A and B are shown apart, each in its own frame.
Chain A
Amino acid sequence: MEKDFDQMNYYEILDVKPSASTAEIRSAYNEALQIYQPESLVSYSFFSREERNKILSLLEKAYLTLINEVQRDKYDTETNLKGSSGSAEKDAIIKKEPMNIFEINRQAFNSVARKNHTAELKTKISQSQLIKEILSRQEIKGADLKAIRNELGVDIETIHKETKIRLECLICIEADDREKLPAAVFLKGFVKAYLKSLCIESADVISALYMSSITTQKLT
């Protein structure tokens, strides 16, 4: 009786407010996937295969648009929806409220969204020229890591969540801020985890390269 799914705007599709933060959008997408993915018990037999595929592709389009700040702003102006991301959200990242440990739904995070995410990253890696070029270099720096991450469209917060490495630490690594870098013992593991969370296959080799570049730089 309400609007058809394909007539809803992206916010309605994901069931979020137009003022939602990136984190909220991401968790809404995860929730939606739990409902609509083909193996889901919730919507079992409710949709035909074509309907389900249509819904899933719409969801993905909505998600990919809304998590990208530039595209989101563009979409908002096009559709006349107010309350874009912008500065309010950046504040929100820093001002984190303490969270009840029992509310963290670990299962949800490791779910299918994750699987899809991995596959998506892998295809992006294989398609990107920039990443290939960076990975074939003999010297890898923090800035290169950042370039790979940006190319894949993953934000630093996601990496922080997955690797459980402190956000400040990640920022230092990316900025090549040598004063504040963690000790070498930790650094190598951190870079490896960082690369793994981006699904870079040769994480071992690359992190070794990074370490050698960093140490030679320190000596000079």
Chain B
Amino acid sequence: MAHIWPIGGGKGGSGKSFLASSMGHLLAKSGKKTLLIDLDLGAANLHTMVDVPYPEKCFSDFVCKKIPDLEDIVLQTPFSNLFLISGAHDNLDIANLQYEKKIKTLRAIAKLNYDYIILDLGAGTAFNTLDFFLASRNGIFITTPEPTSIENVYRLIRAIYLRRIRHFFSTNDFKALEKKVREHLGDDSFYKPEHIVSVIKKYFPEKYELIKKDFSFFRFKLILNQLRKQDNPLLGEQICKVIKKHLGISVEFAGNIAYDEHVHDAICQRVSFLERYPHTHAANDLRVLNRKMSNAFGEQLMLNYI
């Protein structure tokens, strides 16, 4: 089964598509059959990053049943071993993908035959984004060292946490739980997952054990993008520490990617950054990250959708 790496970041412009295309290039170059899926529904542009300016088929065709098999909308890119499912000409209402279609997509993704599948997700914390992110246990968070971006990545992590907890409860149970949380922490409780978990621990100890066990299988990673020279290089480690200590989720800090003006140049020229500027700091960071991550991920498990 393919290794699936969902890439999410909460905030737009934090480098999700850049990371997805770069990782795709590196994995393809090392001989792995790699598929990039643009799941930034409604704001897709991964095709531009991998030099497929006029994609003939796109994700919408699959959703609208125009093309029944997900495999048939896969596009060739100019790079060997690298494939793409584009979202370029998606219908304008694609952002509001219905639940059944989302599940259908996830099932289809699980059946694809590739070594690596990278999901480029959109900004924000819509249910679609959360569910695609939770498709695999190997989700990658990306953020830049700016308060706006960090704020959104924390929101995303909390939203994902809550979404996963929600899986363990039926609708009625969850309502009962919600009521209990409000009773305990007041109506203005922040609806933070860590508060909810403390209530679950008290009133649903068996559920708590299940959730705890479930989360221990996740191998989340955090990448800090656009790190300038004056930024604190330890920021990523510290963020992971805060998440571990206060949310109880372990997120491993994978590494920094240096800020580089050349990334902008490469995107404007619509060429691969790694090929055009292979000797920059950022390119080097990407290679180190790729090497580290392809070794670090263990067993691949697709959640609940098979």
With contacts A1-B248, A45-B150 known, is A35 near B238, CB below 8 A? yes
Binding-face segment, A36-44, A94-102, A146-154, A194-202: A36-44
Indicate if the CB atoms of A41 and B248 lie closer than 8 Å.
no
Tell yes or no: A2 within 8 A of B by CB. yes
CA distance A202 to B245 in the complex (A): 44
Nearest B residue to A4 via CB reads B198
Interface of chain B, main secondary structure: helix
Contact A1 B246 (CB under 8 A): no
A residues 3-20 with Cβ under 8 Å of B? 4-5, 15
Q: Which B residues are in CB contact (< 8 Å) with A42?
A: 150, 235, 238-239, 242
8 Å CB interface, A106-130 against B: none
Task: Give the chain A neighbours of B245 by CB distance below 8 A.
Answer: 2, 5
Q: Which chain B residues (149-191) contact chain A, with CB distance < 8 Å? A: 150-151, 154-155, 190
Q: How far does the Cβ of A4 sit from chain B's closest Cβ, in whole Å?
A: 7
Query: B145 an interface residue at 8 Å Cβ cutoff?
Result: yes
The one of B151, B211, B241, B248 in contact with A2, judged by C-beta atoms closer than 8 angstroms, is B248
Query: Which residue in A1, A5, A41 is a CB contact (below 8 Å) of B215?
Result: A1
A44 to B239 alpha-carbon distance, docked (Å): 10
Which residues of the partner chain A approach B197 to less than 8 Å between Cβ atoms? 1
Pick the contact of B242: A4, A43, A48 (CB < 8 A): A43
* Residue A163 is within 8 A (CB to CB) of chain B in the complex: no
Among A2, A15, A34, A46, which residue has its beta carbon within 8 angstroms of that of B154?
Answer: A46
Interface string of B220-257 (1 = CB under 8 A from A): 00000000000010010011011001111100000000
B78 at the interface (CB under 8 A from A): no
Q: A41-B150, A44-B151 are in contact. List 20 more A-B contacts (CB 8 A).
A: A1-B197, A1-B211, A1-B212, A1-B248, A1-B249, A2-B245, A4-B198, A15-B241, A35-B238, A41-B145, A41-B146, A41-B232, A41-B235, A42-B238, A42-B239, A43-B242, A45-B151, A45-B154, A46-B246, A48-B190
Query: Across chains A and B, which 6 residue pairs bring their CB atoms closest together, nearest first?
Result: A1-B248, A45-B151, A42-B238, A44-B147, A2-B248, A44-B150
